[in-house]
Amino acid sequence: MRPSRHSIELGNVGEKGKMTVKLRKPILLGGISLSFGLWLWQNFGQSILEVGELSVVGAIALGTGWWYVQQKLSKPQLSPTVLLPLNQEKVAKAIALAQNTITSLEIEAPAQDCCGLKQQLAALPALCKRQTLQIAVTGGKKVGKTTLIQLLENAANICLVETPALFTATDTQEKTALKLATAADLVLFMVTGDLTESEWQVLQQLVAEHQQIILILNKQDQYVPEERAVIWQQLKSRVKEIIPAANIVAIAAAPTGVKVRQHQIDGATKEWMEKQGSELGNLGDRLSEILTKEKEQLLLGTTWRTAIKLEQEAKNILNAVRKVRALPMIEKYQWLAAISTFANPVAALDLLATAAINTQMLVDLSGIYQQKLSLSQGQTGSVTIAKLMVQLGLVELSTQTIGSILKTNAITYVAGATVQGVSAAYLTRIAGLSLIEYFQEQETCTEGFNLEKLGAKLQKVFQENQRTAFLQGFIQQALTKLTPNKNIMVDG
């Protein structure tokens, strides 16, 4: 009786919880939009409630839409299913992509030394034609990696590498282990029982990189036969979506001996441990089968992974080069936004009217990231960004925070214009930094922005730049940009 009552109670709580959440969200969103409206009202009066497409009514309406987008963003990632096998074409594409990125780097940063990258690129085709295959033996601490390698060492045409133990060592050791595993043609992944969560994560990661895996359950001798069967089943069903059953094997690489007890004639007993030979099950057969029949696939996988890694490496350098050019540009536009909003609070009634400046920033940044937008595409884009910023509550939050920091700093001339000027600069900066992150992931934006991704970037960048210490420094900087005007007025 008990368990069922328990589950009914749980069910009710769950239902209530759901209902509360359902009711709360629109109110909360309305709250944000509404208080933003009130803020506009208090500061500037009714006449400015409507600024182009960015009416408060629109913001409220879109707020609901944003809630939907947010819902989608917070959904947990689905576990990867088995990938489609690689073919020559996909591998050629990955190589071409790496080639393109390296070429862009050479063009955009002629001073950059690209020799290393180019050598790696030139070496890619040969990766597919190797005779000796690399096998990485990995797994947690003391799972039997060294023991297994010693047993397999004599096999022809393979080179076995033991990775540092996973899950125990420092972060760098763990990275080395994963690096060795992805660089290999095949991975022997050893466990000694049911999968832990971390083991599962690593397996998924490797499979997502088109890595072939033989999952090895070692130390079988430590379990009695019934336990062994249970663990074997659990393991198989846990990984069934990512590892084919043929690639799961149970072994005992170095079983502890069996205790033998002999009764002597005189009544005494004599005990000793009888050594047992290693038990590799069908590991040897499966291994040689894979190494012959699936060799081409293994080599394709390694070549693909290496090409992808090379492309990422080149892309990281390219992104760093581009960022160095993009940051001063953002700086320029953020102070332009500050000064024009401060000097002309009537024209810039709504902070988001700084969109006019953002348009040019957007066009310039898109140029740096080789995704050049036209002016009209830039205009549409900047309106999109401005809307997102309202819906995310960033405009309201930053204005309030900046306003209160200015107040506590006892600056006597705090007026709407100062708060507005500083906020305009800050929001322009957030928009610019988010665009950098967006463009870095090479989202082509000429056909419009991916709102989910852009929204996620805005939130991330906003959170990173929201600390009071940072804001205080920023405000200080903004004030030095804004005060000269004041000084001129005072002096003059």
Ligand X SMILES: Nc1nc2c(ncn2[C@@H]2O[C@H](COP(=O)(O)OP(=O)(O)OP(=O)(O)O)[C@@H](O)[C@H]2O)c(=O)[nH]1
Q: Return residues touching ligand X (CB under 6 A).
A: 141-147, 165, 218-219, 221-222, 252-256
Which residue's CB is nearer to ligand X, number 133 or number 217? 217
CB neighbours (10 Å) of residue 149? 16
Q: Smallest distance, Å, CB 259 to ligand X?
A: 13
Q: Within positions 140 to 169, which residues make up the interface with Mg ion, using CB under 5 A?
A: 145-146
Which of the choices ligand X, Mg ion, none does residue 256 contact, using the CB cut-off of 5 to 8 A by kind? ligand X
Which residue's CB is nearer to ligand X, number 29 or number 177? 177
Which residue's CB is nearer to ligand X, number 141 or number 407? 141
Which of the choices ligand X, Mg ion, none does residue 254 contact, using the CB cut-off of 5 to 8 A by kind? ligand X
Closest by alpha carbon to 386, among 475, 446, 455, 306?
Answer: 455
Which residue's CB is nearer to ligand X, number 44 or number 167? 167
φ, ψ of residue 217 to 5 degrees: the values are -95, 105
Q: Smallest distance, Å, CB 217 to ligand X?
A: 10
Which residue in this structure is represented by tokens 């030979």?
277
Which of the choices ligand X, Mg ion, none does residue 165 contact, using the CB cut-off of 5 to 8 A by kind? ligand X
Choose the binding region for Mg ion from 17-25, 138-146, 273-281, 315-323 (rule: CB under 5 A): 138-146
Q: Smallest distance, Å, CB 207 to ligand X?
A: 22
Which residue's CB is nearer to ligand X, number 28 or number 229? 229
Residues in the chain: 492
Contact 291, 133 (CB under 8 A): yes
Q: Smallest distance, Å, CB 285 to Mg ion?
A: 25
Q: Within positions 325 to 354, which residues make up the interface with Mg ion, using CB under 5 A?
A: none
Contact 84, 297 (CB under 8 A): no
Which of the choices ligand X, Mg ion, none does residue 218 contact, using the CB cut-off of 5 to 8 A by kind? ligand X
Measured between alpha carbons, how far is 451 from 388 in angstroms, rounded to an integer?
8
Q: Smallest distance, Å, CB 403 to ligand X?
A: 57
Answer yes or no whether residue 316 interacts with Mg ion by CB under 5 A.
no
Give Cα 187 to chain centroid, integer Å: 24
Which of the choices Mg ion, ligand X, none does residue 144 contact, using the CB cut-off of 5 to 8 A by kind? ligand X
Which residue's CB is nearer to Mg ion, number 141 or number 460? 141
Q: Smallest distance, Å, CB 240 to ligand X?
A: 24
Q: Smallest distance, Å, CB 146 to Mg ion?
A: 3
Q: Smallest distance, Å, CB 141 to Mg ion?
A: 9
φ, ψ of residue 337 to 5 degrees: the values are -60, -45
Which residue's CB is nearer to Mg ion, number 145 or number 322? 145
Residue nearest Mg ion (C-beta atom):
146
Which residue's CB is nearer to ligand X, number 6 or number 275? 275
φ, ψ of residue 27 to 5 degrees: the values are -65, -45
Which residue's CB is nearer to ligand X, number 179 or number 372? 179
Closest by alpha carbon to 456, among 395, 400, 391?
Answer: 391
Q: Smallest distance, Å, CB 149 to ligand X?
A: 8
Residues that bind Mg ion (CB under 5 A): 145-146
